[in-house]
Structure 1
Amino acid sequence: MSRGSFVFTPMALRSLELDEDMLERYKYKKQLASHHLNSYMVKKEIRNRALLRSDTALPAAVCQDVVVQNALYTGDLEAMQHLFPRGATVNLIIEPQGGDMRWVATGEGLWSLSYEQELTTPLHITAGRGFADCLRLLLQRGANVDLSPGGTTALHEACENCQPECVKLLLVHGANANAVSEDGLMPLHICTSPGSLECAKCLLQYGAAINSRTIDEDDTPLHVAARNGLTDHTELYLRYGAAVDKQNNEGLTPLNVACSQRQEVQDLQVYFKVCQMLLGAGADVHTLDQDKHSPLHMACKNANPDIVDLLLANGACVNDMDYGGEAPMHNILKVVCFKVSHQPERIVRALLNHGSIRVWPGALPLVLKHCSESPRTIEVLLNAYSHLKVTDTWVESVSSEVYKEHKEFYDSVFSLALTPRSLQHLARCKLRNFLEGRVHKVVPKLDLPTYIKNYLLLEYRGYIH
């Protein structure tokens, strides 16, 4: 046995075990005492609130009381009536648990991940969750209606969560309808979903500025409604005198915004209705953004055929070029393969009938490669030419899968390598060239059978001849 070591006797080991048990009991008693103390402090704080008897709201105080927070987040009116009697402190700052993780500087060049906490108040919690009775109680107890420790007011919170009853309560109790959040948004800018319509109505009735601007984008409420495809909001704002041609920081008017928003098939009619309202209110179809994109450029990029027809009917120019030297026709041809379900052939046909520039013949094989999944688009494009030089490159541009699916159509295209265009088609091209950009105006007025009129307007047949 080495120097400095010794053997534990059974008696010594037993003594150590008893000491360890004693320490464990001591720790348990300490924890239990701490728990009782915390419980006592919570009850004491509640009793102290009940003793406060002041008619004016006290300055905001930080609240970490889990009993109070639980009552607020669950909308327990009965509990809140006990927790917030008359004269109680209702202007509380609450730091909710959880949140998103973010990197925070801890000093000396070190960073650590911590939960991002957003400060809130009882008003924010109840207004955002639609607990109108609880909100009314807090307001009656003198809560500061415009308190915004987290950068937004309770009114912003109610609008964001589509709680019209709470919005009205806050406004009736003096909430500022034009309060600006930390992000530079007023409550009207927060109304971004169909369910927020009643909130928007309340805000306007209580003096919300119809042409107010966001700080970052310089958007008006009408920009917000147009961007989100909100037809009822758009109608409401126009009725209140919203300016239709205000441009934001990117040079976009509400019409430009509606046309430029990405649209799925189910969204096409909604955005069409918004554009219809804006144009009916006098929106300018010629306004260009910073990149010289017109509403027509944007509608073609998003492949909304009804909006394209609407813009053309209101005088949009089919051959305006953006900074990249591209016309609306370029925009639609770029997206045909992604937007087949949007009926891109309707847009190509409308542009050509209004005098759009055509694709350089040498680039047709490339267009064929990218647009072959939409045979109707190819048909309309090819019928704008009196002569075509079909080569093996054309055949190679169509994948075998697409060819099998649309064999009859592409056989008619490839057969042009051996046969000229029909006399009927040549006559059509001659008349269209003579009329130039007036085809859409003149042809419907001609005393001709409907079948021939449609043929002149490049109606689809499913084959090339």
Structure 2
Amino acid sequence: MAHESFAFSPSALRSLRLQRELLERDERRRALARGSAERRLPPGTPPSPPRRRQVCRDPAVHNALYAGDLRRVQSIFRDEATANVVLETVSEELVWSPEQGTGPGVLPFFSLLLSLPFPLQNRWGASTGVQLQVGSGEQGLWVLSPRRQHTSALRIAAARGYEDCARHLLLRGAAVDAVVGGRAPLHDSAAAPHPNCARLLLAFGADPNVLSADGSAPLHLCTAPHSLRYGCAELLLAHGAQVNLGTRDRQVTALHVAARQGLVAHVELYLHHGADPSVRTHQGETPLNAAAAAAERPEDSERFLRVAERLLEAGAEPGAAGRKGHTPLHNACANGHPAMARLLLRHGADATVPNGAGDTPMDCALRAVREYRQQRPEETLTLLLDHGALPAHPKMLRLCCQHPPALEVMLNVTGCPGFYASAVRMAGQPRRLQHLARVAIRRHLGARCCAAVPRLALPPPLRRYLQLPIEGLIS
């Protein structure tokens, strides 16, 4: 095999310092692993010399695998040693190097870059040219740095659905659970998804709960709707994947992932296999928190609502406070999602609880008025008021000024003296006794407004008046 390097994809700018830290961390992990293995040896046994990994940089070998050329793969990978070779690609990328700003060779390289007839691009694609920055005592330069990426032949075949190539490699002794370049082959086949390759790997003994370098199992990577339709998620569960297994560092489960992606069928599947709807991540997030926080786009609101319905039916806690003390209701209000707010309130969510910053769901709903004017935020405000939320501080009402229906709701329920005086100056006349009576009744009922007002022995027009109807006027 030749030892040339070949880049297969455009390289992204990475920090040189981050690369060094990652390499040092890998070295420490390998040293600890070697020390642990040596301690398990019987006394007097000489330690075996560390095995040197075979690395292939030959573009011809890489191309055969990426193209799924079975005949060439069969001619190249003939035994266990070649089937487990590490494939390395090296690409040059520009990184900002503060510590090399005044080192040897910088000025010649800087002169070379200045002579280029085209501008350089930063990691966001913006034209930056070549910069020698001096600020806060820091000097540096954009320099070319090699970036090495590792993978295995079996990973490439599994990621692209080349079942025949994967079978040949497995028959030649390819390690089915080898984590090379951060992932095992089963991670790639599940993420793609390619159920034919996943089924083959599992038949050869692949661990359905194998963890990647970042601590994710294959089930965590089933994030697209078709990963269920084509059977990868069901296949992994059928072969023993642990549905409540959390990622190594954050303890995110597959149910968290499916809820955050709005995958209704996945959520139903995981719940059917015993997924815990109350399980929390290290930050305290439940799957319901994840679904409510991710429902940001109006076009996705329906499927996230269905996810929340399934989770609540399975016993999810509607008031579970997650990251920064946000409850699902805080997130639903902040995302301008009145249907989800109604669902959560119907299941007992508290409309008055503050988050870690002291903001109530009402505060979140008011801040969302301007951005989600097309989502009828006045409905969310009315819902919160009907379930005991206190009227907002007068200073918060400025957030409603660009959406008259929301301002109407807040004006019709506010009875504090400071705001009342400002309303008098604006309208030029005092509020009616009927309005003051409504404020007093709603304040007395509090969280019982939603259930009690429809049962009051009052004429229908008065009951409707107490329910803050949207009529386009300050009543």
TM-score interval for Structure 1 and Structure 2 normalised by the shorter chain: 0.7 to 0.9
Q: Which amino acid aligns with 1:348?
A: L
Q: Deviations over 1:334-383 (max 9, x none)?
A: 2221222232211111000111011234x2xx522x32222111111111
* 2:390 matches 1:373: no
Classify 1:71/1:196 alpha carbon distance in 2 versus 1 (closer, same or farther; 3 Å).
same
The alpha carbon displacement at 1:88 in A equals: 8.1
Gaps of 5+ in 1: 1-36, 40-57, 395-412
Q: Aligned residue for 1:225? A: 258
Larger-Rg structure: 1
Provide the rounded CA distance (Å) in 1 between the counterparts of 2:81 and 2:192: 28
Query: Which of residues 414, 431, 435 is equivalent to 2:445?
Result: 435
Offset at 1:428?
Answer: 3.5
- Distance between the aligned counterparts of 1:98 and 1:389, measured in 2? 66
Structure 2 counterpart of 1:149: 180
Task: Report if aligned partners of 1:390, 1:416 keep a CA contact under 8 Å in 2.
Answer: no
Query: Is 1:192 matched with 2:185?
Result: no
Q: For residue 165 of structure 1, what is the aligned residue in structure 2?
A: 196
How far apart are the structure 2 equivalents of 1:109 and 1:160?
43
Give the alignment of 1:16-95 within 5 angstroms. 61-84=54-77, 89-95=82-88
Taking structure 1 as reference, are residues 281 and 449 closer, same or farther at Cα in structure 2, changes over 3 Å only?
A: farther
- Superposed displacement of residue 423, structure 1: 5.1
Note the 1:330-341 alignment, pairs <5 A.
330-341=363-374
Which of 83, 98, 109 lines up with 2:91 in the alignment?
Answer: 98
After superposition, residues 245-264 of structure 1 pair within 5 angstroms as 245-261=278-294, 263-264=296-297
Question: Pairwise mapping of residues 288-437 of structure 1 onto structure 2 (< 5 A)?
Answer: 288-289=321-322, 291-361=324-394, 363=395, 367-368=397-398, 370-385=399-414, 417-422=427-432, 424-437=434-447
Percent identity for Structure 1 against Structure 2? 39
Letter paired with 2:256: H
The answer (yes or no) to whether the contact 1:145–1:154 under 8 Å persists in 2 is: yes
DSSP-derived class of the 2:86 partner: strand
Question: 1: distance between equivalents of 2:69 and 2:59?
Answer: 13
**Cα contact 1:59–1:91 (8 A) shared by 2:** no
Higher mean alpha-carbon deviation, 455-464 vs 381-390, is at: 381-390
Query: Hey, which of these two has a bigger chunk of helix by percent?
Result: 1
Question: Corresponding residue for 1:272?
Answer: 305
Note if contact 1:127-1:166 (Cα within 8 Å) is conserved in structure 2: yes
User: Shift in Å at residue 216 of structure 1?
Assistant: 2.0
Distance 1:391 1:278 in 2: 43
Cα offset, 1:207, TM superposition: 0.7
Q: Which moved more, 1:75-84 or 1:155-164?
A: 75-84
Task: Give the total of aligned pairs.
Answer: 387
Distance 1:196 1:109 in 2: 51
Superimposed CA distance per residue, residues 400-448 of structure 1 (whole angstroms, 9 cap, x where no aligned partner) = xxxxxxxxxxxxx888531233455445434423422211112334566
- Structure 2 gap segments, 5+ residues each: 4-50, 105-140
**Kept after mapping to 2: 8 A contact 1:123/1:154:** yes
Q: Do the aligned partners of residues 101 and 281 (structure 1) sit closer, same or farther apart at CA in structure 2, a change above 3 Å counting? A: farther
Which residue identity is paired with 1:265?
Answer: P
Structure with the bigger RCO (C-alpha within 8 Å, sep 6+) is 2
Q: CA shift at 1:199, angstroms? A: 1.7
| Residue type at the aligned position of 2:452 | V
- CA–CA distance in 2 between the matches of 1:251 and 1:134? 43
TM-score normalized with structure 2 length? 0.73
Q: Distance in 1 between matches of 2:368 and 2:379?
A: 13
Cα root mean square deviation, aligned: 3.2
The answer (yes or no) to whether the contact 1:391–1:417 under 8 Å persists in 2 is: no
Find the residue that maps to 2:82 and give its secondary structure.
coil
AA in 2 matched with 1:136: R
How far 1:453 sits from its partner (Å)? Answer: 4.2
Letter matched to residue 469 of structure 2:
E
SS across alignment from 2:368: helix
